[in-house]
Amino acid sequence: MKVHKFKPYVKCGLFLILVISLAGTANAATNHTGGIALSWDDVLSIDPCYQNLQLFETYNATCTINLNSNDLIYSKQGTKDNLGALHSAGWEVAAHGRNHEDSILYINNYTSDGWLNQEVIPNINDLKGYGYSPVYTFVYPYGSRDTNSDAALVPYFRTIRSTEFDVVNVNASNAYYKWDNTQVLYAVEIDDNSGVSPESIKAGIDYAMANGYVLLLYGHTITPTITGDYQTSTSRLGEILNYTKEQGGEFYLMGDLGNSSWVQPSISSNVTANFTVSTDSVKVGETVTFVDHSINQTSELLDFGDGSNSNTATVTHTYTTPGTYTATLTVTNGFSSHSMTKTITVVTGYNGGIALSWDDVGSIDPCRENLETFQKYNATCTVNLNSLSVSPQSTIDNLSALNSAGWEISAHGLNHEDPVAFLNNHTSQEWLDQEILPNIAEITGYGYPVYSFAYPYGSQNDTTDALLAPCFRTLRATNFGTVNVNESAAYYKWDNARLVYGVEIDDQSPSGASLESIQYGIDDAIKYGYVLVLYGHTITPTVTGELQTSTSKLESILNYTSQKGGKFYHMGDLGNSSWVQPTNVTANFTVSTDSVKVGESVTFVDYSVNQNSELLDFGDGSNSNTANVNHIYTTPGTYTATLTVTNGFSSQSMTKTITVVTGYNGGIALCWDDTGNIDPCRENLETFQKYNATCTVNLNSLSVSPQSTKDNLNTLNSAGWEISAHGLNHEDPVAFLNSHTSQEWLDQEILPNIAEITDYDYPVYSFAYPYGSQNDTTDALLAPYFRTLRATNFGTVNVNESAAYYKWDNARLVYGVEIDDQSNVSLESIQYGIDDAIKYGYVLVLYGHTITPNVPGPYQTSTSRLDSILNYTYQKGGKFYHMGDLGNSSWVQPSISFNVTANFISNPTAGFAPLNVAFTDTSTGLPTSWSWDFGDGATSTEQNPTHIYSTVGTYTAKLTVSNANSTSSKTAQIIVDEEDDDGGSSHSSGGGGGSPEPARNVEVKELSQVFITNGKSVQFDFTKNATCVVYVGFDAKKTAGKTTTIIEQLKKKSTLVSALPEGEVYKYFNVWVGNSGFATSKNIENPVLCFKVEKSWIQNKKIDQDSITLNRYSDKKWEQVPASPSGEDSKYLYFKSSVSGYSFFAITGKSDSSPGGSVTDIQSEDESDTPEENIGETGSEVKESDEDKENTGMPGFDMVYGIAGLLAVFLYKKR
């Protein structure tokens, strides 16, 4: 590479060129340094800008602040002071419209001159008045501009700023001033939520710097934390200022830009507005003449106050609507503006007054009671009614009396439904058919013509108005929030407006309209010839709550209206005078029969009049557009056939009741849940047979049931009873499937359940869900295996209204009602259910649990209640069904095969030779044969064998299970060690099965297995009597499946615990439940332990029986647990204790003769070279090492034995 060498002065020149290139320099194209012009909009931006002035000054940055002066005028002095400080710091103060009006909208509604004279020039003058002169810049509110507004502003400002909307890439926008004297510029919003990223802004700054342009930016409120729109974070602001400064950019004011040749105009030569009118009070349709007398104006705008205006003030005008109008003349000469107003009163030509109405049927009686008060002032009113159907005759008579006295009767919605809310959830026709037309039909049925409608809750919109227009002359809504009645919309102005608004006069009305305000409203009504619309609810002498009008307030209103010469109108006098009242219809039809079997036809014949449409609803979900029709009902039940006829303006309905039966004999299907209820059913078999009743028994596992129970089940089946499935382990199906696969549920709960029952030669047709727990998934999984699935109809009170019926519709899933005495379902309700079942030919599904003469708790059916149900069904001619008679009649019983999966538990898995290991089979799929290979040449075909490994080594134990369909194998490793001289081992089993207890201290152990289900009480029974523990139990808070509990009875105190403080020790033992960490308060509650003590020990040791205590070791200390006697036999006393958990235990007692405070460990009777072989079901014993034997003989034996040993070693070495 060629290297150039420069002279020193050349090097200096190059360095200066480099420095200049890195600094902000004038661009060759524009001859200006690029940068930004940053401005802040609205008076609210003043204080945040001042609070961040130090940040701006850090970068020598000044900005422009754009103000709507009307807000500035009313701002606090502190804000005005802050603005002065910004201006003193070099900031520009610019215009933003006096009232922040949208320029285009304002000019469209008025003129450019009007905008200048009311928004722009006053804004300039206000800012000058605060000393901020000259005003160079104007910023369009909302960025709203067009060529007309631009042309109007050009003489008054050097720079005019609008907004560049929807900017994403700033460098691709129009937001640049290019030193080309452009007067109308565009800016980009930098507020954090504007959608413009900091990166895009920086790219824009780069572009400005590269081209010598000025990037125009603007924001609103500067804040440390962004909580919404129109906020610029201090972090974003600092980033923009810093980046501009780093790039060498300049900070420009808006007044530095724009048209450099602009010269500020002189705003002077004030104008004066002046005009006269021919009259200030006129009737609708009459003319008012306006004459202009203004001076110095170049333009004028006369606003008549009714939404119209004129560009000349010498003009005539006709007002078409009554009211008080303010005519405003505004004149301008381009530099000043002035306005003048006059008031014009326009009246209707009618007599003013009030239309007073009372809402709801509940107002009838109070109105009748106060009729004399109304008549005293010759006042009649309107009563707006919802349904009269439940009103007493006296109320209907009072309504008639009011109508006879000249009162109007009108509609208020049949059920007083909120119209808008109703239409959000229903069709327009449904609203008319359910709320409006029946309301009209009912009122006209009493002979009262209906002219008007009062919206319930005042709820209406354009849709409701259009729907009701054909039906009513007048519609009344509510003028909510009325305080000053004379300023409200609650007037009818004889303009044929169908919709009018009413003011509530109740004393405690939410609107808060006072009597004085109502009187002002009456004054205005009489003044202009309006009708003031008022309404109330219940008239009462004493007001105790809302929706009540006091008699005193009522009389004041009536008296004031009368005294002022006001007239009393009905609501039907108002509204659309061209409305024509429609003709009413009458519904009428007959049926060929009102009782029919499923599949038979019913003939309907129409006799209605005046209708142009009709709808016959058969009550079974189908309907017809004609009432002359035949119809077949396909499902039993009681149906209400309803004919509704209408002519578009009125509607009427008529109903008839049709009873449809199945054609089957109705009755009940009674079943009994759980294997434990076989014996009670057998004991009450004669009761069932007395009524020729047979039932279904739903079984879980029979495997642990005694032979007598199985014999009782066979007797029930021989007597015609059905035997069905209930889940092998009574697991909650939905809960089980949440933590297992579908196949695991079938393999562990369903298929073994079916297989066990069919093994007893009972065909299985139905399944009762444990706990009634089911969903679509469980139903689909069980569909191939059962004709009928029974869930539970929870919360049943009225059986005849429940879903607990089978209707011969092939529904596989049916629901049952529990009949146990404490199920909350009364006998009377069950009997009603039986009545309906027999009436329609249904089958009512019932179930119970334990039948017993006396009911001390839940899940028990008393023999008296059972007899009542059976007798009632029998007396009513009902039939007794099995669950298998119901369900899906097309179901075909499947041929079920089971694939086995081998699995087992070995306990212990490691220890010292000889090692006794218990193997427990946990295979699934109903294996019929078991083949064990223990890995040392020995085998077994037992299901749960034990095996002794005599030789040290590592063995692979293998289980092979099979049935007629499949074979499966599983292996596990067993490690057998030889003890070291110190009794230790590298593979100590810790007492087997994960116990921390040294194996040499375990005298004997026993295992018990139970399936743990959430919410169930669990008891592990130790039936081999190998240890001092009889059972342990607790309430499960979590489903854990098949779980093993181990009892380790020890030879002496464990080395893992401290010494007991006192007492004679009977036995030390450990209790291990499941895997480590399972037996905690998270998983179990209410743990108990039952143990036994030999009577011979108590006698030999002279133990006080009351002193026998269970001691538990926990947290490095012993605690005494009270032991309560629970029984005895010839050899043992039995005790039960509630414990806080399972761990290390000791049973102690106090001898009457032993000194207090001493602890005596009892030598195990079998502590010898040969351990006791009385082990538990799957327990094992571990041989004691010689070192662990307790020394016996004379004192000093240990020393003699040690010396002899040393001597032997010495002689051996010498030899």
Q: How many Cα atoms occupy the beta-carbon half-sphere of 337 within 13 Å?
A: 22
- Look at residue 647 and tell me whether its pLDDT is greater than 80: no
Query: In which band, very low, low, confident or very high, does the pLDDT at 1056 lie, cut at 50, 70 and 90?
Result: confident
Place of tokens 């879980």: 700
DSSP state, residue 313: S
pTM exceeds 0.95, yes or no? no
DSSP state, residue 73: H
DSSP state, residue 61: -
Contacts of 10 (CB under 8 A, 6+ apart): none
pLDDT, residue 1193, reads: 33
Report the alpha-carbon distance of residue 642 to residue 570 in Å, rounded.
36
> How many other CB atoms sit within 10 Å of the CB of residue 980?
12
| Partner residues linked to 162 by β-bridges | 186
673 and 823 Cβ atoms separated by less than 8 Å: no
pLDDT digits (tens, 9 = 90+) for 806-856: 999 899 999 999 999 999 899 999 999 999 999 999 999 999 999 999 998
Dihedral sign for Cα atoms in the order 61, 66, 71, 74: positive
Q: Is 783 left (phi over 0), alpha (psi -120 to 50) or beta?
A: alpha
Residue 11: both structure tokens together? 């090097």
Residue 829: both structure tokens together? 């309700």
- Look at residue 1200 and tell me whether its pLDDT is greater than 80: no
Q: How many helices (H) and strands (E) does the chain have?
A: 31, 69
Amino acid identity of residue 1021, one-letter, is D
- Look at residue 894 and tell me whether its pLDDT is greater than 60: yes
Instruction: Residue 1164: name the closest of 1049, 1056, 998 by CA.
Output: 1049
745 and 737 Cβ atoms separated by less than 8 Å: yes
Cα dihedral value 801, 807, 811, 816, nearest 10: 40
Place of tokens 């108005």: 465
As a whole number, the mean pLDDT across the chain is: 87
What's the CA angle centered on 442, arms 437 and 443, to 5 degrees? 100
Place of tokens 């369009």: 140
106 and 148 Cβ atoms separated by less than 8 Å: no
353 and 287 Cβ atoms separated by less than 8 Å: no
In this structure, what are the phi and psi dihedrals at residue 825, rounded to the nearest 5 degrees? -100, 120
Considering only 293-307, 405-419, 527-541, 663-677, which range has the smallest mean pLDDT?
A: 293-307
- Look at residue 6 and tell me whether its pLDDT is greater than 50: no
Query: In which band, very low, low, confident or very high, does the pLDDT at 267 lie, cut at 50, 70 and 90?
Result: low
Residue 49: its H or E element: helix 46-51
Contacts of 88 (CB under 8 A, 6+ apart): none
Q: Give the CA distances from residue 672 to residues 94, 190, 816, 882, in Å, rounded to whole numbers and listed in that order.
A: 90, 76, 11, 11
Dihedral sign for Cα atoms in the order 153, 155, 161, 164: positive
Query: In which band, very low, low, confident or very high, does the pLDDT at 1165 lie, cut at 50, 70 and 90?
Result: very low
Cα dihedral value 387, 393, 395, 400, nearest 10: 90
Report the alpha-carbon distance of residue 363 to residue 384 in Å, rounded.
9
> How many other CB atoms sit within 10 Å of the CB of residue 558?
22
Cα dihedral value 685, 687, 690, 696, nearest 10: -50
Average pLDDT on 672-679 reads: 94
Q: Which residue has the higher pLDDT, 1095 or 1199?
A: 1095
Considering only 170-179, 438-447, 1204-1213, which range has the smallest mean pLDDT?
A: 1204-1213
Contacts of 816 (CB under 8 A, 6+ apart): 671, 768, 772, 790, 791, 792, 793, 804, 845, 846, 847
Percentage of residues of the chain with pLDDT beyond 70: 90
Instruction: Residue 282: name the closest of 327, 312, 313, 329 by CA.
Output: 327
147 and 189 Cβ atoms separated by less than 8 Å: no
pLDDT, residue 20, reads: 34
536 and 358 Cβ atoms separated by less than 8 Å: yes
Residue 720: both structure tokens together? 């015609």
Query: In which band, very low, low, confident or very high, does the pLDDT at 1206 lie, cut at 50, 70 and 90?
Result: very low
What's the CA angle centered on 168, arms 164 and 173, to 5 degrees? 45
DSSP state, residue 556: H
pLDDT digits (tens, 9 = 90+) for 341-385: 999 999 988 999 999 999 999 999 999 999 999 999 999 999 999
Q: Is 5 exposed, middle or buried (0-12, 13-18, 19+ CB in 10 A)?
A: exposed
pLDDT, residue 689, reads: 97
- Look at residue 695 and tell me whether its pLDDT is greater than 70: yes
DSSP state, residue 609: B
Report the alpha-carbon distance of residue 1125 to residue 1120 in Å, rounded.
16
Residue 1009: both structure tokens together? 């297995």
- Look at residue 881 and tell me whether its pLDDT is greater than 90: yes
Residue 1132: both structure tokens together? 């043992």
| Partner residues linked to 645 by β-bridges | 614, 652
3-state secondary structure of 1193: coil
Report the alpha-carbon distance of residue 684 to residue 863 in Å, rounded.
8
> How many other CB atoms sit within 10 Å of the CB of residue 719?
14
Place of tokens 């979900």: 621
Cα Rg of the chain (Å, integer):
50
Residue 103: both structure tokens together? 């320029």
Report the alpha-carbon distance of residue 1203 to residue 1185 in Å, rounded.
22
Residue 16: both structure tokens together? 């200066």
In total, the chain counts a number of residues equal to: 1215
pLDDT digits (tens, 9 = 90+) for 919-976: 988 777 778 899 999 999 999 999 899 999 989 999 999 999 998 788 999 999 998 8
The DSSP code sequence of 823-869 is: SS--HHHHHHHHHHHHHHT-EEEEEE-EEESS--SSSEEEHHHHHHH
| Partner residues linked to 912 by β-bridges | 977
Cα dihedral value 124, 129, 134, 135, nearest 10: -30
3-state secondary structure of 325: strand
- Look at residue 673 and tell me whether its pLDDT is greater than 80: yes
Report the alpha-carbon distance of residue 850 to residue 859 in Å, rounded.
6
> How many other CB atoms sit within 10 Å of the CB of residue 519?
16
Report the alpha-carbon distance of residue 1085 to residue 1040 in Å, rounded.
14
3-state secondary structure of 369: helix
1145 and 1111 Cβ atoms separated by less than 8 Å: yes
1022 and 1004 Cβ atoms separated by less than 8 Å: no
Cis peptide leading into residue 752 (ω within 30°): no
204 and 188 Cβ atoms separated by less than 8 Å: yes
3-state secondary structure of 510: coil
Report the alpha-carbon distance of residue 755 to residue 900 in Å, rounded.
13
